[in-house]
């Protein structure tokens, strides 16, 4: 099939585009050409690249028509962040594609009720990003179920892989936390460290997109969580990382207001965003309907990412 991937040179696209090529699809990649994939792959030689700035094209009203003119069978939209943006693309592609796949986020959920959270739980998003992503999901599912738009939405957790900093056991992205654990230094965690995070390896997200395409009939009109088999508590994550470095975990727990003063404002904001969500999502639906079989546990994904950070001297062990 002719597959157009919008924003395919990032975390997920690094793995997804080669998988699409290997499966025999004719792939067109749309991006601004500012960045290259995290890892080289020979498959990129057979990928057609179309340079486009989505924001500029949308402002001119030409983004959807330009994607349509590529005559895709399948469109994978990795970078849609507003309802307006989704509507613009859908209007151009209506009746023109066999499958329209969108990358969402588990932030479509707000605070959990019963965990692991299933896709059936009512959405209670907070924060502009999650609110917009939930609105996009609701719009696409409505279009699919009422008007036959062949849409599928995949909701990744915290995406991890070699080449960038994974969400760390303190709930933010400063890689220094891994060095502290590697050196057996004390690490302060907010509250009791029992709030949760839910990672996923980027290649498992790519796998889920492939499985959704391969299982089109059960994927249409549905959204799926794409996370590792199990979420981690911050405390358990810190302990496991310390053990991986053959160190005892020297953890200290502080109430939120005190803890936030021990880190930068940026780190505190990132941690608050993660612990206020404390995601813990079920993959049962994706397993059942898409045969999604993640290769990585959360810790395995993080070990791979941190190994890369050690090799590149970002983390000292
Ligand atoms: N990162 C996470 O942990 C996480 C978690 C849950 C969900 N998500 C979702 O994952 C999706 C992002 O996927 P990703 O993390 O693989 O992407 P990413 O690493 O952020 O890469 C973004 C891709 O989009 C292209 N791009 C960015 N701005 C563009 C523009 N204005 N016009 C055209 N192309 C543009 C980039 O290439 P150029 O810069 O060269 O244009 C690149 O190919 C989003 O929908 C996000 O909500 C991410």
Inter-residue contact 267 to 170 (CB < 8 Å):
yes
CA-34 nearest atom, ligand 1: 40
CA-107 nearest atom, ligand 1: 6
- Return the residue whose CA atom lies nearest to atom 7 of ligand 1: 105
Inter-residue contact 32 to 52 (CB < 8 Å):
yes
CA-14 nearest atom, ligand 1: 16
- Return the residue whose CA atom lies nearest to atom 25 of ligand 1: 7
CA of 92 to the centre of ligand 1 (A): 21
| pTM summary value | 0.99
Cross-strand partners of 6: 30, 77
Per-residue tens of pLDDT for the chain, all 317 residues:
999 999 999 999 999 999 999 999 999 999 999 999 999 999 999 999 999 999 999 999 999 999 999 999 999 999 999 999 999 999 999 999 999 999 999 999 999 999 999 999 999 999 999 999 999 999 999 999 999 999 999 999 999 999 999 999 999 999 999 999 999 999 999 999 999 999 999 999 999 999 999 999 999 999 999 999 999 999 999 999 999 999 999 999 999 999 999 999 999 999 999 999 999 999 999 999 999 999 999 999 999 999 999 999 999 99
Asked if omega into 116 is within 30° of 0 (cis), the reply is yes
Q: What is the DSSP string of 160-204?
A: E-TTSPPP-TTSS--THHHHHHHTT-EEEEETTS--EE-EEEHHH
The residues, any chain, with a CB within 8 Å of residue 136's CB and separated by 6 or more, are 80, 82, 83, 86, 102, 104, 153
- Alpha carbon 183 to its chain centroid, in Å, reads 30
Ligand 1, pocket residues at CB < 6 Å? 7-13, 31-35, 52-55, 78-79, 103, 105, 156, 158-159
Task: Tell me how far apart the alpha carbons of residues 57 and 54 are, in angstroms, rounded to a whole number.
Answer: 5
Q: Nearest Cα to 101, choosing from 226, 212, 214, 218?
A: 212
| Count of alpha carbons within 13 angstroms of residue 85, beta-carbon side | 18
Query: How many other C-beta atoms lie within 10 A of the C-beta of residue 142?
Result: 13
């Amino acid at each position: 099939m002719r597959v157009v991937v919008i924003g395919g040179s990032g975390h997920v696209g690094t793995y997804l585009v080669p998988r699409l090529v290997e499966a025999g699809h004719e792939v067109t990649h749309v991006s601004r050409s500012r960045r290259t994939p995290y890892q080289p792959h020979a498959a990129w030689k057979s990928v057609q690249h179309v340079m486009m700035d989505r924001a500029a094209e949308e402002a001119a009203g030409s983004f959807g028509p330009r994607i349509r003119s590529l005559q895709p069978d399948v469109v994978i939209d990795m970078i849609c962040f507003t309802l307006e943006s989704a509507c613009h693309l859908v209007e151009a592609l209506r009746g023109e594609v066999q499958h329209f796949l969108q990358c969402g986020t588990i932030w479509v959920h707000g605070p959990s009720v019963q965990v692991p959270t299933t896709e059936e739980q009512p959405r209670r998003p907070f924060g502009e990003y999650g609110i917009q992503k939930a609105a996009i999901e609701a719009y696409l599912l409505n279009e699919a179920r009422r008007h036959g738009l062949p849409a599928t939405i995949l909701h990744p957790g915290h995406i991890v892989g070699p080449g960038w900093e994974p969400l760390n056991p303190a709930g933010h992205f400063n890689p220094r936390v891994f060095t502290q654990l590697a050196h057996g230094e004390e690490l302060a965690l907010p509250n009791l460290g029992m709030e949760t995070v839910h990672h996923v390896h980027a290649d498992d997200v790519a796998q889920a997109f492939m499985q959704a395409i391969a299982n089109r009939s059960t994927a249409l009109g549905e959204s799926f969580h794409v996370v590792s088999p199990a979420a981690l508590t911050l405390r358990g994550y810190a302990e496991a990382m310390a053990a991986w470095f053959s160190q005892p975990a020297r953890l200290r727990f502080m109430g939120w207001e005190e803890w936030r003063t021990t880190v930068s404002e940026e780190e505190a904001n990132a941690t608050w965003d993660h612990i206020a969500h404390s995601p813990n999502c079920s993959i049962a639906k994706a397993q059942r309907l898409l045969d999604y079989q993640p290769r990585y546990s959360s810790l395995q994904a993080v070990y791979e990412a941190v190994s890369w950070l050690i090799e590149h001297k970002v983390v000292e062990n």
